[in-house]
């Protein structure tokens, strides 16, 4: 994929029409390009056979599709697949395909899962530095272009099986919100994927500016990474708490369509999206009944649900996992006190694809060494010539 050319992937219909007009082509050529890209999912301009050869040559001089297949993949024993993509700028990101066949007795090799979720990345690395997350430990490397985000879906071998998209891979989506919103616009637009926004969930630690803008400009579901109900405890694990506390996040959410309604005025049609709080349980740190009560108090004004997540050990960490009995008691207590709570099934742990385990640090370091060696070889060749 050439970084010197502009990508057609992730352009809106209006923008594709403008591309055609800028090249002196009729407006309808923009609509044809849109159909070829989002309808027929072509990988090269040459495949757009109802556009004249001259027009295609003019297009190819400045543009390419921007699609790039995965460079590697790992398959879990539970059917989860982790794909490695190389971005336009030469960085690496991981994307996780999670099929659900509805029964543990159903072999995962089936062609048609009941539900198939794709966990996409929005950045290379992450600035949030959450202590329990491998991506946070990798540090921030680069923003992804909208074409890089959309390519994770566009070039996925299982793309036609997908039922849901979650922005829960590498990176903080609200820290790259322009690209994320452009991607969700393409996914939900009638001229492109035409997905319901309720099939898309964006996860965030809760950055103030991004949170408000997302709530105002998008109808997609929202998931907030909470992980501790007490600000001081959360700040010890998640530096973002110090800039914008979880209480501030809740105060913002109270202004939107997440407040509980009484049985008399409850209108299902008024609920535009689902609000979920993600909560990793750590043994002895945030898994007591006192913590559960603090959660209930914090979230009481909101119509939401809680998704409990098992902690997956990472190297050099002070955290430990919660025992299964404690996890179950914590879940039952919250359900008994009025907040719908579920325990997320751990998937892909054997290939480091589970929650908090995504990292491309090794690939980034290898690429840097490769580029450095190339520069050294070039310098040495020039020295010998002189």
Average pLDDT, the chain: 89
> How large is the C-alpha radius of gyration of the chain?
23
Please give the residue that has the higher pLDDT: either 346 or 147.
147
Report the distance separating Cα 314 and Cα 304, nearest Å.
30
* 348: CB partners within 8 A, 6+ apart: 76, 78, 80, 81, 82, 96, 98, 354
Predicted confidence (pLDDT) at residue 103 exceeds the cutoff of 90: no
Report the distance separating Cα 151 and Cα 9, nearest Å.
8
| Contact criterion met (CB below 8 Å) for 307 and 223 | yes
Average pLDDT over residues 105-110: 58
Percent of the chain with pLDDT over 90: 74
In the prediction, which pLDDT does 356 show? 57
Which positions are annotated as active-site residues? 94, 355
Please give the residue that has the higher pLDDT: either 176 or 357.
176
In the prediction, which pLDDT does 2 show? 43
In the prediction, which pLDDT does 316 show? 79
Residue 97 corresponds to which tokens in the numbers above? Answer: 């395909």
Q: What is the CB neighbour count within 10 angstroms for residue 368?
A: 11
Residue 78 corresponds to which tokens in the numbers above? Answer: 């539970």
Percent of the chain with pLDDT over 70: 84
Terminal-residue alpha carbon distance, the chain: 34
In the prediction, which pLDDT does 263 show? 47
In the prediction, which pLDDT does 137 show? 85
In the prediction, which pLDDT does 355 show? 65
| Contact criterion met (CB below 8 Å) for 321 and 349 | no
pTM exceeds 0.85: yes
The 10s digit of each residue's pLDDT in 337-356 is 999 999 998 887 777 665 65
The 10s digit of each residue's pLDDT in 211-261 is 999 999 999 999 999 999 999 999 999 999 999 999 999 999 999 876 554
Average pLDDT over residues 182-209: 96
Q: What is the DSSP string of 172-237?
A: -GGGGHHHHHHHHHHHH-TTTT---GGGEEEEES--HHHHHHHHHH--SEEEEE---SSHHHHHHH
Tokens 């502009």 locate to 6
């Amino acid at each position: 994929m050439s970084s010197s050319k502009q990508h057609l992937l992730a352009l809106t219909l209006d923008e594709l029409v403008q591309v055609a007009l800028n090249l002196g082509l009729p407006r309808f050529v923009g609509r044809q390009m849109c159909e070829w890209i989002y309808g027929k999912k072509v990988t090269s301009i040459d495949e757009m056979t109802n556009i004249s050869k001259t027009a295609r040559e003019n297009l190819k001089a400045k543009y390419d599709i921007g699609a790039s297949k995965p460079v590697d993949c790992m398959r879990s024993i539970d059917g989860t697949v982790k794909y490695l993509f190389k971005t336009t700028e030469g960085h690496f990101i991981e994307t996780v395909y999670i099929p659900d066949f509805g029964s543990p007795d159903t072999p995962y090799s089936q062609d048609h899962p009941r539900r198939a979720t794709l966990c996409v990345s929005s950045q290379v690395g992450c600035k949030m530095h959450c202590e329990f997350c491998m991506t946070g430990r990798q540090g921030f490397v680069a923003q992804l272009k909208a074409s890089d985000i959309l390519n994770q879906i566009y070039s996925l071998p299982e793309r036609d099986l997908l039922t849901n998209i979650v922005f829960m891979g590498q990176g903080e989506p609200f820290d790259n919100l322009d690209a994320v919103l452009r991607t969700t616009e393409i996914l939900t637009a009638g001229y492109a994927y035409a997905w319901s926004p309720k099939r898309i969930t964006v996860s965030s630690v809760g950055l103030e500016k991004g949170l408000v803008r997302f709530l105002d400009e998008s109808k997609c579901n929202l998931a907030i990474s909470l992980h501790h109900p007490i600000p001081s405890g959360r700040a010890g694990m998640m530096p973002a708490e110090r800039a914008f506390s979880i209480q501030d996040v809740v105060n913002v959410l109270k202004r939107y369509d997440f407040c509980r309604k009484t049985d008399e005025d409850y209108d299902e049609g008024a609920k535009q999206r689902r609000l979920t709080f993600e909560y990793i349980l750590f043994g002895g740190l945030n898994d007591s009944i006192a913590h559960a009560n603090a959660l209930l108090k914090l979230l009481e004004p909101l119509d939401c649900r809680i998704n409990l997540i098992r902690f997956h050990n990472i190297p050099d960490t002070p955290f430990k996992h919660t025992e299964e009995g404690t996890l179950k008691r914590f879940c039952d207590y919250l359900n008994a006190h009025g907040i719908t709570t579920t325990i997320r099934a751990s998937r892909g742990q054997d290939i480091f694809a589970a929650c908090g385990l995504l990292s491309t640090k090794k690939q980034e370091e290898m690429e840097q060494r490769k580029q450095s060696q190339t520069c050294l070889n070039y310098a040495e060749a020039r020295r010998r010539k002189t």
